[in-house]
Amino acid sequence: LHLSIRRQRQMCIRDRSSAFFKPNIIFLSMLERKESIKGFPTIMTEAKRLGLGVILYVPHPRALLGQEQKINVWIDDRAGQWNIDKGTGSIDLPILTAFKLMQNWNADIRLISVVNNKDEKKSAKRFLKDIVELARLPITDTEVMVGEMDSLIKNGPYADINIFATEDNINLDYCADMINQTETSCLFIQDSGNENILA
């Protein structure tokens, strides 16, 4: 769902209960004008308050969408919270988005988990396995990398697009830098809190 910035702001401000079909995702693109892009952090904060998901598209100027064959979904370190019983955190909408792209492109998804502590590698592997099995996802490629995400991304496995979960207070300069680090287009996705890949 690609909406104009003005329309996006109207949707964020309006009372959601007045809509017959309530919007649940706002799509933002870094291809918009600079004046509009400056308002993205405010839109994302308001979207979080209203229980809306946000997808921020940051295109690579040359790679674009590549061959549309491989999708990386990055899961940052969960600081010991690798038990699926404690929830999936903010990765539901990123994985669901990757699944939709997979269907449209006939592509493959790779789930990549990052752990800062090498002793948690086994737990992270189990976490990924549980996600794939319990969500009944057609994903066969998972990987656990040890270190800090920012340092691992540059040498991460090849993909045509990289997907990252993001929280409030998004740093647009950081997002723009990620397309240089990964040499791909990227999606930064803010979960609404209502998605559930295990449902």
| 123-138 pLDDT per residue, tens | 999 999 999 998 898 8
Task: Look at residue 98 in the predicted model and tell me its pLDDT.
Answer: 94
User: Region 161-165: what's the mean pLDDT?
Assistant: 94
Assign residue 136 a region (left: φ > 0; alpha: ψ between -120 and 50; beta: otherwise). left
The single-letter DSSP state of residue 158 is P
User: Region 166-188: what's the mean pLDDT?
Assistant: 86
Question: What type of residue sits at position 34?
Answer: K
Q: Which position has the token pair 């996802």?
A: 137
- How do strand 53-58 and strand 25-29 relate by DSSP bridges? parallel
Residue 189: both structure tokens together: 């996705």
- How do strand 185-190 and strand 70-75 relate by DSSP bridges? unpaired
Half-sphere exposure of 163 (CA within 13 A, CB side): 26
Task: Look at residue 67 in the predicted model and tell me its pLDDT.
Answer: 86
Separation of alpha carbons 185 and 170, rounded Å:
17
Task: Look at residue 18 in the predicted model and tell me its pLDDT.
Answer: 44
Question: What type of residue sits at position 24?
Answer: N
Q: Which of 58-67, 162-171, 182-191 has the lowest mean pLDDT?
A: 162-171
Separation of alpha carbons 93 and 165, rounded Å:
8
Separation of alpha carbons 170 and 41, rounded Å:
6
Nearest to 169 by CA among 43, 37, 79, 76: 43
Total-model pTM: 0.84
Give the DSSP per-residue string, 38-50: TTHHHHHHHHHHH
Q: Which of 12-21, 22-31, 183-192 has the lowest mean pLDDT?
A: 12-21
Task: Look at residue 107 in the predicted model and tell me its pLDDT.
Answer: 93
The single-letter DSSP state of residue 119 is G
Question: What type of residue sits at position 167?
Answer: E
For residues 90 and 17, the model is more confident at 90
